[in-house]
């Protein structure tokens, strides 16, 4: 490739640019927010909410940017494993795992570091502007139309490959329709989730804790009966970042008194922060109405020279922390696709097939869990009652048994496919654990 163009310069776009820098003579990131290495940008309104980088996402990030973990921790990020990473279900702690390593850092801090590393790549440059459409010649995309920052007039940029990293608000579908191409269908699940994030001063409380995460489970009917769902992370600048979540009428508000009162109904680490730490700044909220994915492989025709990454492909319930990790795995899929010798001008069916392996896993995990909420009305997969019953039993056993918990957490951290949980040895051990009560 002579030139690849990435539309969007947030996390997924930066990872795609890093991959493309190994294959293209030039990579241009078109980003409307004119971000420098210290800015966070007004785009992606959920950017300041607490984000998780699951174990697989952390490993992939280190793979594409060797040494970045050291840079992040030198800047104040926290790295934890074993008892420093605490997961709770229905208020009960899961067995600790020494090989699950998680990073405590805010998304803006991670993104700034990734952007700086990307900017240092010799073949990558940033261009301040907003994508306005595709340039199509014959059966392939050959560039983009964009408006430079501060200007209303459009200009064009030729490309051998265009990457849509414009997030949930991507206009790619309308652009394809305008050019006479089939529009990818969208699969949706309305979940009506609200979540709120606040920062607290971090002192000597909770020594050795980096991550604490709590969710309701089968014993409470997946409702906040025994404790509020939420999480905290020890992050840069000696802070705790705390997120609380709720569905439908239980969504948290911006009221700091309500936020702290809800923290006092959470598991012990969050209660400790509520009791002893000072709130810094405002409480920020975000309303996530639905999970959605664009089914690119369901179209009858698709132009060559075009792929999508990040939320432009799939955006799932953020409670499960899959977003950043899915972006790293899509970057991996893009690298495997290009390494296979695929021509960038050809339709990228093989890329979408590879990326869908990861998206399917994340989608099935999150949507199956979301269907436990009474206000979520489907669509239900075939055999859902049995799937739900088996999942509940495995969850209950995972809290008691370290071996089942290891498999469960590997699935949660996207190191194994969800179908691993249905293997015979997992189901047999689950039965033994529950029968030995």
- CA atoms of 140 and 128, how far apart (whole Å): 25
For residue 89, CA distances in Å to 210, 283, 352 come to 18, 25, 34
H/E stretch holding 86 reads strand 85-89
Determine contact, residues 110/72, Cβ cutoff 8 Å: yes
Q: How many CB atoms lie within 10 A of CB 73?
A: 15
Chain-wide mean pLDDT for the chain? Answer: 93
Q: Which CATH number fits domain 76-105+190-290: 3.30.450, 1.10.287, 3.30.9, 2.60.40?
A: 3.30.9
List the chain domain ranges.
3-50+112-187+291-369, 76-105+190-290, 380-435
Grade residue 275 by pLDDT with cuts at 50, 70 and 90. Answer: very high
- CA atoms of 196 and 251, how far apart (whole Å): 8
| Closest C-alpha among 325, 268, 252 to residue 52 | 325
- Which ranges constitute the DSSP H helices of 244-322? 256-263, 268-276
110-145: per-residue pLDDT in tens?
999 999 999 999 999 999 999 999 999 999 999 999
The pTM of the full predicted model, rounded to 2 decimals, is 0.94
7-53: per-residue pLDDT in tens?
999 999 999 999 999 999 999 999 987 555 554 454 555 667 788 89
Fold of 3-50+112-187+291-369: FAD/NAD(P)-binding domain (3.50.50)
Retrieve residue 95's tokens: 């067995």
- CA atoms of 116 and 74, how far apart (whole Å): 15
């Amino acid at each position: 490739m002579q030139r690849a163009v990435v539309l969007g310069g947030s996390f997924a776009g930066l990872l795609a640019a890093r991959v493309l820098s190994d294959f293209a003579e030039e990579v241009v990131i078109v980003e409307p927010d004119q971000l420098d290495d210290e800015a966070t940008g007004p785009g992606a309104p959920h950017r300041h909410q607490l984000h998780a980088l699951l174990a697989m996402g952390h490993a992939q990030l280190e793979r594409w940017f060797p040494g970045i973990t050291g840079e992040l921790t030198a800047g104040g990020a926290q790295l934890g494993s074993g008892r420093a990473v605490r997961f709770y279900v229905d208020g009960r702690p899961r067995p600790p795992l020494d090989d699950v390593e998680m990073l405590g850092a805010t998304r803006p801090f991670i993104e700034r570091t990734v952007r700086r590393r990307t900017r240092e790549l010799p073949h990558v440059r940033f261009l301040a502007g907003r994508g306005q459409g595709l340039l199509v010649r014959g059966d392939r995309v050959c560039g983009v139309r964009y408006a430079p920052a501060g200007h209303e007039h459009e200009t064009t940029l030729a490309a051998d490959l265009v990457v849509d990293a414009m997030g949930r608000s991507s206009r790619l579908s309308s652009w394809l329709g305008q050019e006479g191409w089939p529009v990818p269908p969208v699969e949706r699940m309305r979940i009506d989730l609200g979540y709120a994030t606040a920062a607290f001063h971090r002192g000597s409380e909770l020594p050795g804790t980096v991550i604490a995460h709590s969710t309701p489970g089968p014993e409470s009917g997946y409702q906040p009966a025994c404790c509020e769902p939420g999480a905290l992370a020890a992050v840069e600048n000696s802070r705790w970042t705390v997120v609380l979540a709720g569905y439908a009428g239980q969504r948290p508000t911006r009221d700091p008194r309500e936020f702290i009162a809800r923290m006092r109904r959470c598991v012990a680490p969050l209660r400790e922060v509520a009791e002893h730490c000072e709130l810094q700044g405002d409480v920020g909220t975000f309303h996530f109405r639905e999970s959605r994915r664009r089914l690119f492989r369901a179209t009858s025709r698709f132009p060559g020279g075009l792929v999508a990454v990040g939320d432009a492909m799939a955006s799932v319930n953020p409670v499960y922390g899959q977003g950043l990790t899915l972006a790293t795995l899509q970057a991996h899929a893009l690298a495997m696709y290009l390494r296979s010798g695929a021509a960038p001008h050809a339709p990228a069916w093989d890329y979408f097939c590879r990326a869908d392996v990861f998206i399917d896993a994340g989608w099935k995990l999150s949507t199956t869990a979301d269907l436990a909420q009474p206000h979520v009305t489907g669509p239900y997969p075939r055999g859902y009652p049995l799937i739900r019953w088996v999942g509940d039993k495995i969850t209950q056993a995972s809290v008691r048994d370290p071996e089942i918990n290891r498999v469960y957490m590997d699935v949660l951290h996207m190191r194994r496919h969800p179908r691993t949980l249905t293997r015979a040895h997992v189901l047999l051990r689950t039965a033994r654990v529950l029968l030995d009560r």
